[in-house]
Structure 1
Amino acid sequence: MKKSSWSESGALWWTLTILKESLNKMKILIVFVLLTLAFSACDAKSPGLKKCSEGWTGFGRKCYTYVAEVKPWAEAERYCQALGGNLASIHSNQTQALLKKMGKISGSYKRTWIGAQDATQNSVWLWSDGSVFDFSLWHSGEPNHGRGGREHCVEMNYGVEVLWNDAQCSTNLYFLCQKPAHTPPICRI
């Protein structure tokens, strides 16, 4: 049996060390490639951010669209439901400002249905999406349940101040729909 010399065992040690380092680098490369592939399957640019379909405007956790055709309130609500939402509910001045802007057509504000109504019980205002009626921007003297107490649905962009008014639900107006924003999947590895 031949004994190994120091130089042979040193060379073997050196070769094994280089091989071990190469394997470690290869492992790192494989992990990097796998992570890249996993994240490319998700929306890596903005994981968890809310997104809206084309033709919809995102704000907060909702998407909004202005429908430039006129319908009575109940038909407008059904139209919005067919799109996966409801007539818009407004809970802040910021949302009001956005929706007011969306309702400006040909340089003027158009009377526009939003999702509030008190048809179930007079003066108990409800949003069609079931959210709490915690905000309002009524025009002076409104709501007045005018026309013999037949005004039970809420329009915005009313009067010079473009605020809210209770109107007859059978009136044909433009309308604003809202739906929850889509959340792309968050990548978890």
Structure 2
Amino acid sequence: MEMSDDIYANAETIRNIKSTSTPDQNPPNSQGKQHSGGRNYRLTAVCLGLLTILLLTVITAIGIYYNGVQNNTMDWIRFHCSCYYVSNEIKTWSESRQYCRARGADLVIINSKEEQMFLSGFQNRWIGLTDDDEEGTWKWVDGTTLITGYWRSGQPDDWYNEDCAAIQKEMSDLYSWNDASCSVAIHWICEKTAPL
């Protein structure tokens, strides 16, 4: 039993030396410190919760915005300072124009050789040009009179009261316009100013 008494005595001596020479690695916390730590954890949890809600709100808003943009843009194609929508369905000239205007656009106005070359790949499409108000005086949908035209050979010919213009390429990319009856249902091209 002497040996076990020595062990207990040695253990007590070691404990006394440890307490005087080095601070305890795990000191008991006071009641105030425990309460303060709990408060910090709760504050951190509330902040993380609020950040999560904010993040989810932002993600949802961005999703709704881009979904709306995508539905409104309907695969618009950008070329220089304009965006173009090339239809997959067919409508009369007036119906096509109404479709474009309902989406913040109008039937395309072709202002340059480059724009004509770009659009000539889309065949049998209404453009925003008509002489419906005055025969032989072709005007764009914005009211300006046509200055430079890209008519096919022999066009416009007003055959059977043809008062609306369409791209109808056969041989030439540059000279592809044809006059057609405005009541014919074909595809169309809308144009609107590209966002900055």
| TM score, norm. by length of structure 2 | 0.58
Structure 1 counterpart of 2:118, which letter? Answer: L
**Using CA pairs below 8 Å that are at least 6 residues apart, which structure has the higher relative contact order?**
1
Q: CA deviation at 1:132?
A: 4.6
Aligned to 1:116, which of 129, 148, 154? 129
Q: Would you say 1:62 and 2:82 are equivalent positions?
A: yes
Q: Over the residues paired in the alignment, what is the CA RMSD in angstroms?
A: 1.8
Q: Are the structure 2 counterparts of residues 97 and 80 from structure 1 closer, same or farther at C-alpha, using a change threshold of 3 Å?
A: same
For 1:43, the equivalent position in structure 2 comes to: none
Match of 2:113 in 1: 93
* SS at 1:146 equivalent: coil
Gaps of 5+ in 2: 1-71
| Alignment gaps of 5+ in structure 1 | 1-51, 104-109, 184-189
What does 1:5-16 correspond to in 2, within 5 Å? none
**Cα–Cα, structure 1 residues 166 and 58, in superposed 2: closer, same or farther, change >3 Å?**
same
Cα distance in structure 1, aligned partners of 2:93 and 2:137: 17
Distance in 1 of aligned mates of 2:142 and 2:104: 11
- Confirm or deny: 8 A CA contact 2:128 2:165 kept in the other structure: yes
The correspondence of residues 18-167 of structure 1 with structure 2, limited to 5 A, is 53=73, 55-101=75-121, 103=122, 110-147=123-160, 150-161=161-172, 163-167=176-180
Correspondence for 1:176 among 185, 189, 196:
189
| Larger helix share, 1 or 2 | 2
Which one has a larger percent strand, Structure 1 or Structure 2?
Answer: 1
Instruction: Identify if the C-alpha distance between structure 1 residues 129 and 85 changes in structure 2 by more than 3 Å, giving closer, same or farther.
Output: farther
Q: Which has the larger radius of gyration?
A: 2
Output the CA distance in 2 between the equivalents of 1:127 and 1:138: 15
Letter of the 1:151 counterpart: E
Q: Helix, strand or coil: the match of 1:145?
A: coil
Question: Which residue identity does 1:58 align to in structure 2?
Answer: R
- Pairwise CA distance, 1:170: 0.4
Q: Distance in 2 between matches of 1:73 and 1:134?
A: 21
In structure 2, what is the equivalent of residue 30 of structure 1?
Answer: none
Change (3 A) 1:180 1:130: farther
Identity, in percent, stands at 33
